[in-house]
């Protein structure tokens, strides 16, 4: 496979600075795919006619407000005649300096390649800190960056898609700080910020804490407890910010505002029958997450031009290399296994209980899975390491190459109707 040959070449030529090579290569690849279509669209600005919600909210925050003058986008919450973003606020905090300079026409699709490269570099450094070989780490990093729904959110960087990119980078930074530096303060800052992007990412916190525990070190050792306690102030601050943010918008610190989004179509049907979160959504979302295939549609007038389905593709068919996570074992650190799989399990259940069908609009993968994929990617890399010197190596290399190729095909099919109709 050409992709496999390219990956082997890159990993062998990385030399003494492999992390830098990961950053530069991933930034270049993301950048090319983000910049090429910029003359036709700007991360959905052209499609929706407005900058995305986090950019608008950053502009309002610079004026001392957290509300909008109008419902300029479909995912705006309406409460007592006022309009709010229902999403957590850190992406807007992050964008405020850039919006202050460039205004509301800021193109986040030009920013996400750098954030995506940062996420990849942190993942690579994390895997190396866990003792995973350089070549395996490079393959696993490429698989996550270019063979999962992470590709989608970097390319289409509007609203919660941008939040996914930022949250993923922050989670990997937190895990890398825990494993490589055992720095509780950095874990707290990064995980707190990630929580303020995507709430469910906080379920990776126990895994991050236990990564600070040295192999063989007692769980109640003074050094480890001090590291955990060092993370608490930033985490408490993040929680306090979110509770206060909810209270000033909706008069209730526990009300996130998602129920106030005016829905339509099947979103409205689900909301009226079962609400925002319900076990009723689990069966259909389970199929989407684990069983739904790669769907090509023919929707043009003569049913001849292929187009990619906007319903996404399950992890099984989009990113099969992730299943090597089941071959992972922290044999000398069993608590890490419990923390990792416990957090993943709770997150899987929570996202499957959401009315938005694993993320709504998407062309490949399942973007809600990104809330737990950072930890799953680490486990998958450890599973691949077990087979690094066996014939099974070709299996996970082939699975990663397939996942990347499928993302390329999905992207091509998405743009094909637009190009033919131009």
Q: What is the pLDDT of residues 235-294, one digit of tens each?
A: 999 999 999 999 999 999 999 999 999 988 888 999 999 999 999 999 999 999 999 999
Report yes or no: 354 and 411 within 8 Å, Cβ to Cβ.
no
Instruction: Compare 334 and 7 and report the one with higher pLDDT.
Output: 334
What is the distance between the alpha carbons of residues 397 and 7, in angstroms, rounded to a whole number? 9
**Among 131, 130, 155, which residue's Cα sits nearest to residue 145?**
155
What is the band of 208 on the pLDDT scale with cuts at 50, 70, 90?
Answer: very high
Instruction: Compare 9 and 370 and report the one with higher pLDDT.
Output: 370
Instruction: Compare 156 and 141 and report the one with higher pLDDT.
Output: 141
pLDDT per position as a tens digit, 28-45? 999 988 877 654 554 444
| Domain encompassing residue 280 | 2-420
Average pLDDT over residues 221-225: 95
Q: Which range has the worst mean pLDDT, 117-126, 236-245, 326-335?
A: 326-335
Side-by-side strand order, sheet with 82-84: 67-68, 82-84, 77-79
What is the distance between the alpha carbons of residues 289 and 214, in angstroms, rounded to a whole number? 35
What confidence score (pLDDT) does residue 46 get?
45
Instruction: Compare 6 and 114 and report the one with higher pLDDT.
Output: 114
Give CA angle at 151 (147, 152), nearest 5°. 125
What confidence score (pLDDT) does residue 4 get?
60
Average pLDDT over residues 20-28: 94
Q: Residue 362, SS3?
A: strand
Residue 36 class from Cβ within 10 Å (0-12 exposed, 13-18 middle, 19+ buried)?
exposed
**Among 358, 381, 361, 332, which residue's Cα sits nearest to residue 124?**
381
Residues 6+ apart with CB under 8 A from 72: 50, 56
Average pLDDT over residues 334-353: 96
What confidence score (pLDDT) does residue 420 get?
76
Average pLDDT over residues 122-138: 96
What confidence score (pLDDT) does residue 43 get?
45
What is the distance between the alpha carbons of residues 195 and 239, in angstroms, rounded to a whole number? 8
Report yes or no: 118 and 166 within 8 Å, Cβ to Cβ.
no
Report yes or no: 34 and 110 within 8 Å, Cβ to Cβ.
yes
What confidence score (pLDDT) does residue 48 get?
45
In the structure encoding, which two tokens stand for residue 14, read together? Answer: 């990385």
What is the distance between the alpha carbons of residues 191 and 175, in angstroms, rounded to a whole number? 9
Give how many domains the chain has, as a whole number.
1
What is the band of 5 on the pLDDT scale with cuts at 50, 70, 90?
Answer: low
Q: Which range has the worst mean pLDDT, 48-62, 63-77, 219-233, 327-341?
A: 48-62
What confidence score (pLDDT) does residue 179 get?
95
């Amino acid at each position: 496979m050409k992709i496999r040959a390219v990956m082997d070449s890159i990993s062998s030529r990385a030399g003494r600075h492999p992390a830098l090579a990961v950053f530069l290569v991933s930034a270049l690849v993301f950048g090319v795919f983000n910049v090429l279509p910029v003359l036709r669209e700007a991360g959905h600005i052209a499609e929706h006619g407005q900058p995305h919600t986090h950019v608008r909210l950053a502009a309002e925050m610079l004026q001392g407000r957290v509300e909008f003058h109008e419902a300029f986008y479909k995912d705006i919450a309406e409460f007592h005649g006022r309009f709010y973003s229902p999403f957590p606020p850190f992406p807007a905090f992050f964008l405020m300096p850039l919006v202050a300079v460039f205004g509301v026409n800021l193109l986040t699709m030009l920013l996400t390649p750098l954030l995506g490269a940062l996420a990849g570099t942190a993942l690579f450094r994390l895997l190396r800190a866990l003792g995973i070989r350089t070549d395996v780490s490079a393959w696993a990093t490429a698989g996550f960056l270019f063979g999962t729904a992470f590709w989608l959110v970097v390319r289409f960087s509007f609203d919660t898609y941008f939040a996914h990119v930022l949250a993923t980078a922050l989670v990997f930074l937190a895990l890398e700080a825990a494993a490589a530096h055992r720095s509780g303060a950095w874990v707290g800052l990064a995980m707190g910020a990630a929580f303020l992007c995507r709430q469910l990412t906080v379920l990776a916190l126990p895994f991050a804490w236990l990564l600070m525990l040295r192999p063989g070190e007692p769980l109640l050792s003074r050094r480890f407890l001090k590291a955990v306690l060092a993370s608490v102030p930033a985490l408490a601050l993040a929680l306090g910010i979110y509770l206060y943010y909810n209270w000033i918008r909706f008069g209730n610190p526990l009300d996130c505002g998602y129920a106030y989004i005016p829905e339509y179509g099947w979103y409205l049907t689900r909301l009226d029958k079962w609400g925002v979160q319900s076990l009723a959504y689990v069966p259909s979302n389970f199929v989407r997450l684990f069983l739904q295939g790669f769907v090509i549609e023919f929707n043009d007038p003569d049913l001849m031009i292929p187009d990619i389905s906007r319903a996404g593709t399950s992890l099984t068919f989009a990113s099969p290399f992730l299943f090597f996570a089941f071959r992972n074992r922290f044999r000398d650190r069993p608590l890490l296994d419990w923390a990792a799989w416990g957090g993943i399990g709770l997150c899987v259940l929570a996202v499957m209980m959401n009315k938005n069908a694993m993320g709504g609009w998407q062309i490949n993968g399942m973007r809600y899975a990104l809330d737990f994929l950072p930890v799953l990617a680490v486990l998958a890399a450890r599973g691949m390491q077990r087979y690094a010197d066996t014939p099974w190596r070709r299996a996970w290399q082939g699975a990663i190459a397939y996942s990347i190729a499928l993302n390329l095909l999905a992207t091509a099919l998405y743009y094909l109707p637009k190009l033919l109709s131009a």
